[in-house]
Structure 1
């Protein structure tokens, strides 16, 4: 069972919504290479609000993701694409169904 996760919310700059969506789509191959990431979802909450939710079996998997290529790419583009820095929350998973 997955024990931990990350929930990130992203607020796109006006006019950058399509670029944020494309950025998230382009992250797919990067997350596929992460053996410790068991599930990864990128989603849209509203016209300019996006989110990412990922799960991991343990803290080591989560730490590898936080220090991995997706996180580096996200923060490298943060000033260009987002109104504020991504809001990132770590979560403990209580129950899951995959």
Structure 2
């Protein structure tokens, strides 16, 4: 059961929008290797603003993701790609629907 989540907002440096989009596209492979990250979305919110929403069964799994390869890869490229540090918002999931048509 999903109980915890994160929303991460990323603001690209001018001219780095494509690099952020490519990084997030590659992030799918990294998060697919994380057994404790069952739900992960990479989002484009505006031409320069991106986001990541991911969800977890519990706090331990959320912390594992925050200390995992995707987070490490992002933090290694913050100065290169982002106008400011990522905004990371922890979320408690109250209810969820997940059914494909």
TM-score range, shorter chain: over 0.9
Following the alignment from structure 2 to structure 1, what is the Cα–Cα distance between the partners of residues 9 and 93? 18
Aligned twin of 1:30: 30
CA RMSD of aligned residues (A): 0.5
Q: Is 1:5 matched with 2:2?
A: no
Normalising by structure 2, what TM-score?
0.95
Q: Give 1:60 shift.
A: 1.1
- Cα drift, residue 55 of structure 1: 0.2
> Gapped runs of 5+ residues in structure 1?
none
User: How far apart are the structure 2 equivalents of 1:43 and 1:3?
Assistant: 21
Equivalent residue pairs, number = 98
Deviations 1:6-65 (A, max 9, x none): 000000000000000000001111100101101000000001000000000011110110
Q: Find out whether 1:73 has 2:73 as its counterpart.
A: yes
Instruction: Structure 2: state its 5+ residue gaps.
Output: none
Q: Secondary structure at the match of 1:37?
A: coil
Counterpart CA distance in 2 for 1:87 and 1:79 is 14
Runs of at least 4 residues of structure 1 off by over 4 A? none
